[in-house]
């Protein structure tokens, strides 16, 4: 049952020599062989011999008493992080053959902590999507299935859907994700795992392929809140190569889990009780409030009046930044080239063939709002509204320590649903986008199942650089919920 362990359990088992790092790695590689053809969670799998060689080195460190914090633990890496010598595609045809000669700061830190990379996980192309259906390498399947329905394929959420599916199904103990408007938290909720978006600037963005630079933030996707703290310790820290990276010290995040939360004030934003909110989501939210009240928290009603503008503001700022960031993929400087008779022709042919429909759509939106005559009307105004959204959070945190909200407006939906209506797809981020706009940390914790047997998550939002309190509250919520469900398609099924 090695693929059902948490990071913390696996580390303890390795230290006690109950099993070897080679055993652990082999179990996960076998699980990938068995289930990845169906789930499509990985775009690239690291060769078995490379993984096992690294596992043998980890075993030697355990034997010598020099094991590092993540020693020998199999981790999936979202295929947005550049990994030296391992293909990095951003799930796009335009980077189909890109093998970086360097390592991103986040993955370098995980390697330095002893992690074993087993593969590069699938995602929405260039992290643009909420369902992991826009990848050039095919859609990812959620390992959960509706009760009594083994036919309907469900989405895992996006854009970090491959990472979420891999962790939920036992194809990795944990995985990296990136969150621009909810891309860690929403798929974590859809797949019944824990997902943490740290404060903007807590983790370096260097070597991570950019979508929207003022929003992108790397974070851990794990099975427990304590695991999220452990992994964040390895990922976080100052990096002089990223001018937006904070030089604050990295706390012992994992130790925050289990601390008493008695006396903490928990805010309930009135604006998140949106019309049309699923009764099951609403009931789970009320249950979460009751659990935290029972743990000694004070429940306080708060207002975030500019929340209603969050989604519209996000879909101006993010596409604008994506338009700028993706301009470099022209077939000359970066990306696969399509030849044509003229330079303009090369640009047009390369980008038409290399980018998928969703990416082209967002580039066009972004180029439009940045164009002469529209910059002030759209982009500049959106930046002003973003300031107001951030101010709402700052003012709320003068009254409360954390906020509690739903993570997503629904459980996982079927592949093909909502695709005809892009606005409906964008609404999947309605509860996660405001925290991203404000740059504050937010954690999704699985707390129960809906009537169809699918996981539901609640979101804890905290002050800037106060991940410790977020993790403490998340740990208490996790303990109260006792979520121990596993998806239908798990590595041990059929093993």
What is the rounded average pLDDT for all residues in the chain? 95
- Mean pLDDT along residues 46-63: 98
Token code pair at residue 350? 């390369």
pLDDT at position 277 is 80
Label the pairing between strands 74-78 and 116-121: parallel
Q: To 10 degrees, what angle do helices 7-15 and 21-39 make?
A: 150
Beta strands in 332-441 (DSSP E): 402-406
pLDDT (tens digit, 9 = 90+) per residue, 457-476? 999 999 999 999 999 999 99
- Mean pLDDT along residues 183-196: 98
- Alpha-carbon distance of 398 to 20, in angstroms, equals 49
- Alpha-carbon distance of 264 to 397, in angstroms, equals 12
State what percent of residues in the chain have pLDDT above 70. Answer: 97
Q: Answer whether 450's CB lies under 8 Å from 280's CB.
A: yes
pLDDT at position 333 is 84
Q: To 10 degrees, what angle do helices 48-64 and 21-39 make?
A: 150
pLDDT at position 420 is 60
Q: Answer whether 309's CB lies under 8 Å from 354's CB.
A: no
Cross-strand bridge partners of residue 252:
none
- pTM flag (> 0.85): yes
pLDDT exceeds 60 at position 495: no
pLDDT at position 321 is 97
* Class at the top of the CATH hierarchy for domain 7-253: alpha beta
pLDDT exceeds 90 at position 493: no
pLDDT exceeds 50 at position 292: yes
- Alpha-carbon distance of 436 to 333, in angstroms, equals 31
Cross-strand bridge partners of residue 445:
458
- Mean pLDDT along residues 219-223: 98
- Mean pLDDT along residues 157-183: 97
- Alpha-carbon distance of 108 to 77, in angstroms, equals 11
Cross-strand bridge partners of residue 405:
459
pLDDT exceeds 60 at position 67: yes
Catalytic residues: 78, 159, 183
pLDDT (tens digit, 9 = 90+) per residue, 3-32? 999 999 999 999 999 999 999 999 999 999
Residue bearing tokens 């708060």: 302
pLDDT (tens digit, 9 = 90+) per residue, 360-386? 999 999 999 999 889 999 999 999 999
Q: Answer whether 117's CB lies under 8 Å from 174's CB.
A: no
pLDDT at position 423 is 58
- Alpha-carbon distance of 104 to 125, in angstroms, equals 19
Q: Answer whether 167's CB lies under 8 Å from 202's CB.
A: no
- Mean pLDDT along residues 428-444: 94
pLDDT at position 426 is 59
- Omega of the bond prior to 159 within 30 degrees of 0, cis? yes
DSSP tag of 458:
E
The CA–CA distances, whole Å, from 361 to 13, 260, 330, 367 equal 48, 47, 17, 10
Query: Quick check: helix, strand or coil at residue 462?
Result: strand
Q: Which of 429, 425, 386 is nearest to 406 (CA)?
A: 429
């Amino acid at each position: 049952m090695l693929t059902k362990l948490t990071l913390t359990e696996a580390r303890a088992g390795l230290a006690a020599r109950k099993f070897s790092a080679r055993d652990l790695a082999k179990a996960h590689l076998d699980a990938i062989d068995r289930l990845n053809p169906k789930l499509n969670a990985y775009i690239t799998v690291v060769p078995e011999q490379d993984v096992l060689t690294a596992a043998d080195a980890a075993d030697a460190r355990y034997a010598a008493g020099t094991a590092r914090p993540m020693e020998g633990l199999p981790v999936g890496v979202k295929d947005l992080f550049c990994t030296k010598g391992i293909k990095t595609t951003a799930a796009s045809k335009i980077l189909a053959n890109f093998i970086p000669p360097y390592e991103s700061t986040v993955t370098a830190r995980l390697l330095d902590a002893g992690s074993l990379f087993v593969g590069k996980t699938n995602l929405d192309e260039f992290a643009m999507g909420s369902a992991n259906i826009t990848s050039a390498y095919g859609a990812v399947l959620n390992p959960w299935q509706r009760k009594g329905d083994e036919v309907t394929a469900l989405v895992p959420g996006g854009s970090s859907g491959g990472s979420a599916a891999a962790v939920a199904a036992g194809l990795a103990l944990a995985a990296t994700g990136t969150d621009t408007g909810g891309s860690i938290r929403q798929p974590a909720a859809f797949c019944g795992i824990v997902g943490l978006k740290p404060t903007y600037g807590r983790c370096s963005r260097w070597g991570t392929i950019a979508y929207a630079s003022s929003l992108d933030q790397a974070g851990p996707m794990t099975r427990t809140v304590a695991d999220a703290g452990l992994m964040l310790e390895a990922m976080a820290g100052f990096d002089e190569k990223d001018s937006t990276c904070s030089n604050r010290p990295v706390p012992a995040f994992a130790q925050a889990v289990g601390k008493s939360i008695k006396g903490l004030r928990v805010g309930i934003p009135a604006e998140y009780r949106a019309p049309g909110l699923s009764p099951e989501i609403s009931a789970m939210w009320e249950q979460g409030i009751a659990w935290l009240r029972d743990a000694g928290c004070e429940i306080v009603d708060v207002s975030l009046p500019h929340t209603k503008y969050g989604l519209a503001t996000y879909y101006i700022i993010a596409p604008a930044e994506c338009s700028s960031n993706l301009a470099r993929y022209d077939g000359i400087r970066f990306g696969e080239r399509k030849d044509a008779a003229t330079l303009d022709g090369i640009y047009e042919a390369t980008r038409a063939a290399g980018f998928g429909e969703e990416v082209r759509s967002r580039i066009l939106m972004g180029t439009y709002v940045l164009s002469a005559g529209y910059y002030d009307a759209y982009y500049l105004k959106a930046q002003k509204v973003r300031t107001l959204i951030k101010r709402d959070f700052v003012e709320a945190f003068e009254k409360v320590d954390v906020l509690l909200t739903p993570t997503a407006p629904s459980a996982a939906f079927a592949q093909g649903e909502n695709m005809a209506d892009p606005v409906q797809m964008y609404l999947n981020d309605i509860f996660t986008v405001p925290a991203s706009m404000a740059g504050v940390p937010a954690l999704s914790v699985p707390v129960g199942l809906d009537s169809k047997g699918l996981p539901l998550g609640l979101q804890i939002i905290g002050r800037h650089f106060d991940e410790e309190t977020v993790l403490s509250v998340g740990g208490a919520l996790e303990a109260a919920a006792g979520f121990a469900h596993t998806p239908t398609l798990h590595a041990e099924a059929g093993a």
